[in-house]
Amino acid sequence: MNVDVILGLQWGDEGKGKIVDHLAKEYDIVARFQGGPNAGHTLKINNQKFVLHTIPSGIFRPNLINLIGNGVVIDPVTLEKEIAKLDDAGVDYQGRLIVAHKAHLILPTHRYLDAASENAKGKAKIGSTLKGIGPTYMDKTGRNGLRAGDIISPNFEKKYQALKEKHLKLLEQYPPFDFDLEAEEAKWMASLERFKQLPQVNGEYFVNQALDEGKKILAEGAQGSMLDIDYGTYPFVTSSNTITAGVCTGLGISTRKIGEVIGISKAYCTRVGSGPFPTELHDEVGELLRKEGAEFGATTGRPRRCGWVDLPQLKYTIMLNGVSQLVITKIDVLNVFKEIMMATHYSINDEKTDQLPYDMCDEEIELVLESFEGWETSLEGVSDYEELPAQAKAFIKALEEYLEVPVTMVSTGPARQELIQRNIQAEV
């Protein structure tokens, strides 16, 4: 058996949570492989909205296991709050929510360091979610981190104190700011008691044994490929590998165990936080996308920047990930538009290209745009691909032709059932 992958092809918030929840029913295990509580994955089930930050989006489907994998960074305080919401909703997660013991822990002082680093950057700030992600991955690669498995070690307290002291020293380098470490630390320690009750596994053996037993695993990405630490719009990125390669390191599987790679893109594009965004619209069209798409961050509530879909950008992330299927989400957001645009190429120094430059921050990128007729009608109740308006089908066909990957699903609203699963074989 192989691990299928779902990941975002843009700058995050493509609707990964909704699609994972939909597909999860066909799997035995859903596993997060990177990122942490910077993620906000929204699910709308029976008119109730849930936002998951650390818990995999398969948790609302009965019976299957949800693994927080080795590559994830965990804040036990956030996780405790998420679990409390599952309790409120009556979700039975006992024995189904498990943690890989090599996943790293986010300390309160990691969050302070995140804030201090952002403040010091002034206008050049990344726009971090301030969840402590960067400093935690820095400690991981710097070989200083605390891992989930350490919480039962007799040396845990000592290790914690040493790391905290190191952080406090580092914080002295920055202009002073207010924080209540004593209170936050008490909360953090208390949350560890809840955390200890979650089963911990050796993630790499767990996943590989499950595959050997013929179990089906779905890996759930967080953030998007343009926020990848290596290939994203550096330095305006997150601190993990968000691309398919991150599944191998994040779960401990061989590259030969990767199956389908399902890439998700909105029918337009958004970004939250700073950094280059070639197709961003600073006008009323961008405003309308934000309004129609309710584009406000699921984790921070910040307004998302909006623009048209960017094909050079998508071609790039499809290449990086080896995408075998495309899912287009939020197509309904375009219902009100008379004209819809797609950037097919960039023009840099008067040269037309469909490749991304070395550093998008340094380049004056002009767009080659193609115009499409809007459908100007609601998609409510459309459940069959053939029932979509001709203009919407033409838009999807153009995406497939440019990107050379089949669109297998189209999402027409936030709710679980607002999804068109395409049967491409039957269409031809």
Quick check: 304 binds ligand GDP (CB under 6 A)? no
Does the annotation count 13 as an active-site position?
yes
Q: Which of 114, 139, 228, 332 binds ligand GDP (CB under 6 A)?
A: 332
| 18, 329 contact by CB (below 8 A) | yes
Does the annotation count 53 as an active-site position?
no
Quick check: 293 binds Mg ion (CB under 5 A)? no
User: Hey, which residues between 116 and 145 contact Mg ion (CB under 5 A)?
Assistant: none
Quick check: 145 binds ligand IMO (CB under 6 A)? no
In this complex, which beta carbon is closest to ligand IMO, that of residue 36 or of residue 413? 36
CA atoms within 13 A on the CB side of 288: 13
Tokens standing for residue 169: 């020293």
Quick check: 241 binds ligand IMO (CB under 6 A)? no
> Of Mg ion, ligand GDP, ligand IMO, none, which one does residue 129 interact with (CB within 5 to 8 Å by kind)?
ligand IMO
Q: Of the candidates 266, 107, 268, 249, which has an alpha carbon nearest to the alpha carbon of residue 188?
A: 107
Query: Any idea what DSSP says for residue 255?
Result: G
In this complex, which beta carbon is closest to ligand GDP, that of residue 145 or of residue 275? 275
Q: Which of 69, 71, 134, 312 binds ligand IMO (CB under 6 A)?
A: 134
> Of ligand IMO, Mg ion, ligand GDP, none, which one does residue 116 interact with (CB within 5 to 8 Å by kind)?
none
Phi/psi-derived region of residue 404, left when phi > 0, alpha when psi is between -120 and 50, beta in every other case: left
Contacts of 13 (CB under 8 A, 6+ apart): 40, 224, 266, 270, 272, 295, 297, 298, 304
Q: Of the candidates 146, 149, 126, 127, which has an alpha carbon nearest to the alpha carbon of residue 136?
A: 146
Query: Any idea what DSSP says for residue 56?
Result: -
Q: Of the candidates 351, 342, 347, 346, which has an alpha carbon nearest to the alpha carbon of residue 371?
A: 342
Quick check: 8 binds ligand GDP (CB under 6 A)? yes
3-state helix, strand, coil in the chain (%, to 5): 35, 25, 40
Phi/psi-derived region of residue 12, left when phi > 0, alpha when psi is between -120 and 50, beta in every other case: left
> Of ligand GDP, ligand IMO, Mg ion, none, which one does residue 134 interact with (CB within 5 to 8 Å by kind)?
ligand IMO
Quick check: 298 binds Mg ion (CB under 5 A)? yes
Quick check: 13 binds Mg ion (CB under 5 A)? yes
Where on the chain is the footprint of ligand GDP (CB under 6 A)?
8, 12-18, 40-42, 44, 298, 329-330, 332-333, 411-414
Residues in contact with Mg ion by CB under 5 A are: 13, 40, 298
Residues that bind ligand IMO (CB under 6 A): 8, 11-13, 38-41, 126-129, 131, 133-134, 222-224, 227, 238, 272-273, 298
Would you name the residues annotated as active-site residues? 13, 41
